[in-house]
Structure 1
Amino acid sequence: MTSLHLQKKLKHEQIQYVEFLSADITRAKKFYAASFGWKFTDYGPDYTAFGGDYIDGGFTSGEPIKGSILIVLYSEDIEVTKRKITAAGGLIVKDIFDFPGGRRFHFTDLDGYELAVWSE
């Protein structure tokens, strides 16, 4: 974990850190920076961390395992977020649909991980 964790109050029993395997960390950083504006701190060639207001995480070298966990990100403007993802090379695998509480879509990143984005 990074020193970023010391800067914010942790919430009891809430997701606090997510770690991805990536076949190409440089490519993952470029994709997530373009799609969501994430900032990264490198810790050698095989690990990079990202920090946010609500969750921290990292990418470590390795072959991704598809389908193990669905990470859901929030967007204030789901259409703009979808366009940013596709422009960065992401693939929409389930287009925007309504569900009780909002709208959501699923995409795969450049390593093949499936994630979702929702909006109210």
Structure 2
Amino acid sequence: QGDVNHPLASRDCQALIDYLIQFDAIVGETRPQPPLPFPATPLAGVEPVTTPVGGLLVYTATAGQYLQAGQQIAEIIDPITDRVTSICCTAAGVLYARSLRRMATAGMVIAHVAGAEAYRSGYLLSP
């Protein structure tokens, strides 16, 4: 939603067509699938990254980027005091989702990092 451009839309469209051909929903010539940029990870290894403070949300990492444990994802800037709070991931993994909002509230999930080690349990589709 936040990254709309013609080259990305063309790649996404071709990927959907390729999927439908492989699924036998439409007729066409199959192409080899591209290699995964990173290995698959367990859903229980996803870190919902939250912010302890509210303010202006400025990302320093991009979606699709592989992050090391402790690497900064974003900064939260307090619009009243100009205090900057660094937001970091706790485990290594791929930053695969970021909030589209630019103002964060304390406790808000601002990003998700897919790590290789499962550490969560229970209902995993929410923070």
Query: TM-score higher than 0.5 here?
Result: no
Which structure is higher in RCO with an 8 Å CA cutoff and minimum separation 6?
A: 2
Higher helix share: 1
Higher strand share: 1
Instruction: Give the TM-score, by structure 2 length.
Output: 0.23
